């Protein structure tokens, strides 16, 4: 004990400060160790939470922008439906202006002139309900995809922290085990992100196939409507709004899917860039396993037929234009 007091007094004080001195154990020391361990653990938790928080905020901003865009689109369509009435008040004609020329062809089996405002109310309420349903499900799906991106970012962050250069310089057996466990956690969360994305796509596979067909059809018919109603400003704006909204939806969904693929690729780019060759042999084996896993292409594949990506968005747009060209040529 005298030897410790003489040569290791400063070390003893430092270890007592953090509750690690083995020759002095008490309830207070145990409480001190638990407290400091909790503080250190919370620092790591807050770093991971910051990543999830960042992607959560991105999802909120995205939802807000989509809601604003949808409100503008729905307001435009609603305004165009009452445009003949407004025009009749501003520029009245001697002859009665027909109000039955609606933007959406429907058959109510009643006198459309007599019940014009009831029909208009029914159409607008239908548009509002449909738009709300599409926005709610679409933004929720986008939020899930953002969450998957956050999981990939956490996996990348854990690999970076585990394979830091200063950590690899002096590694004992205990340090190797710590690095190994960190890599296991990173691999586990990466696996969960892939499983979640596959589960998400399989759950909505039928609906997504239907939406792809509906989207292409809407763009084709809306473009045809734009060309067919050049002289009618209201009809022209109606079909132009429909074309714009559909193309934006196609681009946004495929962009979110492309973002998931890019985040997965970033994980393996990080694995390539870290100094894995300086790590102990057992850690090198795990890193080589990750490198081999990176050779397998990961993407959001719908039924093995359609791969959601920006390239696919361009393909759908090109396909819609091709169908429109064929449809327009038959009119002549």
For the chain, state the CA radius of gyration: 31
Sign of CA dihedral 307, 304, 206, 265: negative
Tell me which H or E stretch contains 108: none
Q: Which pTM does this prediction carry?
A: 0.73
pLDDT at 89: 60
Give the pLDDT of residue 22: 63
Instruction: Give Cβ neighbours of residue 87 (< 8 Å, ≥ 6 apart).
Output: 97
What do you get for the CA distance between the two ends of the chain, in Å?
104
Q: What is the pLDDT of residue 235?
A: 74
Q: DSSP labels for 292-314?
A: HHTTS----EETTTEE-SHHHHH
pLDDT at 100: 44
CA dihedral 287, 292, 293, 295 (to 10 degrees): 130
Q: Which among 77, 100, 99 has a CA at the least distance from the CA of 88?
A: 99
The whole-angstrom separation of Cα 169 and Cα 146 is 36
Class of the domain covering 137-330: mainly alpha
* Residue of 321, 138, 135, 77 whose CA lies nearest to 219: 321
Q: How far apart (Å, rounded) are the C-alpha atoms in residues 186 and 179?
A: 11
- The full set of domain ranges for the chain reads 137-330
Predicted local confidence at residue 95, as pLDDT? 47
| Alpha-carbon distances of 159 from 165, 177, 268, 270, 294, rounded to whole Å | 12, 14, 10, 8, 14
pLDDT for the residue numbered 259:
92
Q: What is the pLDDT of residue 124?
A: 76
Which residues of the chain are modeled with pLDDT < 70? 1-25, 36-51, 80-114, 165-175, 234, 332
Q: Rounded to whole angstroms, how far apart are CA atoms 163 and 274?
A: 6
Chain-centroid distance, C-alpha 313:
16
């Amino acid at each position: 004990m005298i030897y410790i007091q003489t040569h290791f007094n400063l070390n003893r004080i430092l270890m007592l400060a953090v509750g690690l001195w083995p020759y002095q154990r008490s309830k207070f020391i145990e409480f001190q160790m638990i407290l400091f361990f909790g503080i250190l653990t919370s620092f790591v938790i807050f770093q991971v939470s910051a990543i999830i928080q960042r992607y959560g905020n991105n999802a909120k901003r995205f939802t807000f922008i989509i809601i604003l865009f949808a409100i503008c689109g729905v307001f435009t369509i609603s305004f165009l439906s009452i445009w003949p009435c407004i025009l009749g008040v501003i520029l009245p004609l001697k002859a009665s202006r027909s109000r039955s020329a609606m933007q959406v062809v429907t058959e109510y089996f009643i006198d459309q002139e007599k019940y014009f405002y009831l029909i208009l109310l029914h159409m607008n309420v239908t548009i509002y309900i449909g738009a709300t349903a599409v926005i709610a499900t679409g933004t929720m799906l986008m939020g899930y995809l953002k969450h998957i991106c956050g999981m990939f970012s956490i996996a990348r962050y854990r690999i970076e922290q585990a394979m830091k250069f200063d950590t690899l310089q002096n590694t004992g057996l205990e340090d190797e085990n710590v690095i190994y466990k960190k890599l296991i956690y990173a691999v586990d969360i990466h696996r969960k992100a892939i499983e979640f994305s596959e589960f998400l796509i399989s759950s909505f596979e039928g609906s997504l196939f239907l939406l792809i067909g509906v989207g292409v059809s809407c763009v084709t018919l809306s473009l045809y409507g734009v060309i067919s109603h050049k002289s009618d400003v209201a009809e022209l704006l109606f079909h132009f709004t429909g074309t714009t909204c559909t193309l934006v939806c196609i681009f946004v969904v495929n962009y979110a899917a492309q973002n998931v693929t890019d985040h997965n690729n970033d994980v393996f780019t990080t694995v390539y860039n870290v100094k894995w060759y300086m790590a102990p042999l057992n850690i090198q084996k795990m890193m080589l396993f990750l490198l081999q896993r990176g050779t397998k292409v990961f993407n959001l594949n719908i039924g093995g037929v359609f791969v959601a990506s920006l390239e696919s968005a361009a393909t759908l747009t090109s396909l819609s234009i091709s169908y429109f060209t064929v449809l327009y040529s038959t009119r002549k």
